[in-house]
Amino acid sequence: MKKMVSSLLVLTVGCGLLMLSSCNGDQKRMGILKVYNWGDYIDEDLIPEFEAWYEEQTGESVEVIYQTFDINEVMLAKIENGQADFDVVCPSEYIIERMMRNDMLLPIITPEFEQEINDKDINYFDCVSPYIREQFSLLEAPEGKDPNDYSIGYMWGTTGILFNKSYVTAEEALTWDLMFDKRLKDKIFVKDAFRDVYSPMLIYAKTLEARAAGELTEDEYLDLTTIRELMYDSSDESIALVESYLKRMKELVAGWEADFGKEMMTQEKAWINLMWSGDAVWAIDEATSVGVDLGYVVPEEGSVVWFDGWVIPKYARNLKAARYFIDYMCMPENAIRNMDATGYVSVVATEEVFSELENLSCGEMEECDLSYLFVDHEGNPIEGSDSVLVDPVLYPDRSVIDRCGVMHDSGDRTDKMLEMWSRVKGDNLSEGMLIGIILFFSVLLVWGVWRKIDNYRKRMNLKKRRHHRSERKSK
């Protein structure tokens, strides 16, 4: 009997301690905000500033734990298994679509939260351009769910061709034909992102098919409706068609790159690179400082317009701070700082951002129609936005946007597309490339550390150049 009582006492005390420990752990976790974002994709000074702002608004303290990723699928894998309790994540549009389809997201905007921030006059969600919200509404979502309630845009851009003006003309770069130009053998790099390559190649292949069938003349292109339909096309026939084009292209390709293509271009080891506009901005600015003249265009056949956005995974544990953080990132002055630090373009398109366009630009300026993006609080284009002098790499003209579609998740067809991508990349591994791969991995750790240091230096130099430019203009 004594042993039974003793055992019961021990069990009771043990359970009590476990419950107390769990409660203390939950309380401690509520003071932490875990953010998972792309590398080099924020003005990191904003993180401690958010902590102070959050306490000012709520009376509660929070510590931000900030981590980064380089590939959407790596990020998703960590969240899918439920082992990562990130509160805020920044995936691309097709991953947002997949997460919504698989019921992996919690709403950002709720009536209660909207009322709370309205009462405090800190609702910055409306600063996101209506054009961006329209594009997010195109994402597939379960019936009754609005994608704009579950995802808030962060940055956006296009996929196109970065080219060296000493070897390639702008006219040549205005067609995907350039990727098959034999004189450029071993001078071509391609982004190692199968969706960003698949969609432009499918548009290009379908354009050539339509011309061959007499449906289009040699100077005509697919309309936007057709391009948007192709963004959903992952049929066996289309996968095979794209694969045939990519296998022709790979005979000329020097490498498939995740991030180092920018350096290859600035060092003139490559003459063209299929890449994202944000990376192109960085490369153009860096190349200018070393006397290399680069340009960027979206080919006339059409391409991809991409979006990254904030979401709250269903395993998040600090919903309140997560919602405040996303709202804080939509504040116009913070959006400007993030653009200045990263070279990418914010989805925030208010009059405050519009007035800073000249200072944000680094490359050659052109008159562009941005009335699709910049509108006032009444939904009307901001005065002058239909013809504004701006860097077209950062802010593409309406004519460019009208030939770009939004990527979508391929669902159960994704594996088929990945298999195709693996076949394309794996068939041309020469002995030299194998040696190169071995050498690459042997220095990967050192390179990773160097990259962080070098990117910080470059961001500082970029800020300095923009500051000096701004000072000169003010004089």
pTM for the full predicted model:
0.83
In terms of Cβ atoms closer than 10 Å to its own Cβ (0-12, 13-18, 19+), residue 25 is exposed
Angle at 78 between CA 199 and CA 154, to 5 degrees: 55
pLDDT reported for residue 437? 46
Residue 274, SS3 per DSSP: strand
Cα–Cα distance for residue pair 240/38, rounded to 1 Å: 31
**Alpha carbon distance 310, 462 (integer Å):** 26
CA 265/CA 292 separation, integer angstroms: 9
CA distances from 224 to 138, 229, 231, 416, 433 (A): 14, 9, 11, 26, 39
CB 168 within 8 A of CB 271: yes
Say what the pLDDT of residue 364 is: 86
Beta bridge partners of 388: 368
- Count other Cβ atoms within 10 Å, centred on residue 274: 27
Spatial contact of 125 and 109, defined as CB atoms under 8 Å apart: yes
User: Would you give per-residue pLDDT tens digits along the chain (475 residues)?
Assistant: 444 444 444 444 454 444 444 445 566 778 999 999 999 999 999 999 999 999 999 999 999 999 999 889 889 999 988 778 999 999 999 999 999 999 999 999 999 999 999 999 999 999 999 999 999 999 999 999 999 999 999 999 999 999 999 999 999 999 999 999 999 999 999 999 898 999 999 999 999 999 999 999 999 999 999 999 999 999 999 999 999 999 999 999 999 998 899 999 999 999 999 999 999 998 999 999 999 999 999 999 999 999 999 999 999 999 999 999 999 999 999 999 999 999 899 999 999 999 999 888 777 899 999 999 999 878 899 999 999 999 999 999 999 999 999 999 999 999 999 999 999 998 544 444 445 444 544 555 554 555 666 666 656 666 655 555 455 444 5
Q: One-letter amino acid identity for 21?
A: S
Q: Within 10 Å of residue 28's Cβ, how many Cβ atoms?
A: 10
Structure tokens at 313: 């995974």
Report how far apart the first and last C-alpha atoms of the chain are (Å, whole number).
92
- Tallying the residues shown for the chain, one arrives at 475
How far is 200 from 175, CA to CA, in rounded Å?
11
Per-residue model confidence (pLDDT) at position 472:
44
pLDDT recorded at residue 377: 79
CB 135 within 8 A of CB 406: yes
Closest Cα to residue 129, out of 340, 377, 384?
377
